[in-house]
Homo-oligomer: A and B are copies of this chain.
């Protein structure tokens, strides 16, 4: 009887990495308190009663407090005026106890997400969504980097060490993920290709890459047969698909990568769930510590920013 040799990729455990990152953050927070008398503070704004947003905000608040930081939650009615919301943001911008500010999106239609983000002091924009932070990132300066891209970079650096000279393909060109991930990989001296829905020969492009970051929002699109053997794959996608095997009407979460086939070719791959997802809130906390150190003129802790 012959057996087919089966490679099984290393599973990049984002949940474990995020837990370790939170411990590192807690250590830095304790040091900031003891040595400098400063406690990092994160303000989260929630407009309206969207149930999913309430869960996200609650999770952020719990994790913020767990690492020893101050959490300031501001819940506003769904019909809050832009003027009132901006007045609150202005107060938080001016408040030295608040180092990070984020507004949970989506917001009701009468409010503009772009204008809300623009109102937040770029130095406190711990979601890294503002035009100024995009520009700082694009020009290689110190920025607040969006949490999901920062999480991708941390996982890649942790697994690969130096990324210099590696060829990387980012699938997807969103402002939230694809474009900032490409900037971060370029900053780490990868040769970076940005592919997207108009890319003619996607399989071939992916096959040339040492690093593949999939952020396209199409369930299980990237197949194992597309990958260079040994490639490192970061799956940013979170897609809900029907899972009748779990019972009528049941769903399950999958990424943009077909995990089972990819795991037979890749060297390492981040799963969904349990890969990039858990990194997002941890990176939000990391950004808040970074913002706190910068605003107080203190050295930034290593490993929390790029």
Q: Mark A221-265, 1 if CB is under 8 A from B, else 0.
A: 000000000000000000000000000000000000000000000
Q: A164–B198 contact, CB under 8 A?
A: yes
A138 touches which one: B137, B141, B189, B196 (CB < 8 A)?
A: B137
A134 interface hit (Cβ, 8 Å): yes
Alpha-carbon separation in the docked complex, A137 to B200 (Å):
24
Which B residues lie within 8 Å of A290 (CB)?
none
A53 interface hit (Cβ, 8 Å): no
Which B residues lie within 8 Å of A191 (CB)?
193-196, 198-200, 205
The contact sample of 12 A-B pairs, CB cut-off 8 A, is A130-B135, A131-B132, A134-B134, A134-B135, A138-B175, A165-B198, A173-B186, A189-B198, A191-B205, A192-B194, A193-B193, A193-B194
Alpha-carbon separation in the docked complex, A130 to B132 (Å):
10
Known: A131-B132, A132-B131, A136-B135. A186 touches B194 (CB 8 A): yes
A139 interface hit (Cβ, 8 Å): yes
How many copies, total?
Answer: 2
Q: Which residue of B has the minimal Cβ distance to A204? A: B208
Interface residues in A, total, Cβ within 8 A: 35
Which B residues lie within 8 Å of A179 (CB)?
138-139, 186
A183 interface hit (Cβ, 8 Å): yes
A133 interface hit (Cβ, 8 Å): yes
Which chain A residues (194-212) contact chain B, with CB distance < 8 Å?
194-196, 198-201, 205, 208
Alpha-carbon separation in the docked complex, A100 to B194 (Å):
33
Q: Which residue of B has the minimal Cβ distance to A183? A: B138
A220 interface hit (Cβ, 8 Å): no
Q: B175–A139 contact, CB under 8 A?
A: yes
A-B pairs, 4 with minimum CB distance = A135-B135, A131-B135, A134-B135, A193-B193
Which B residues lie within 8 Å of A303 (CB)?
none
Q: B140–A136 contact, CB under 8 A?
A: no
Which B residues lie within 8 Å of A175 (CB)?
138-140
Alpha-carbon separation in the docked complex, A221 to B36 (Å):
53
A148 interface hit (Cβ, 8 Å): no
A280 interface hit (Cβ, 8 Å): no
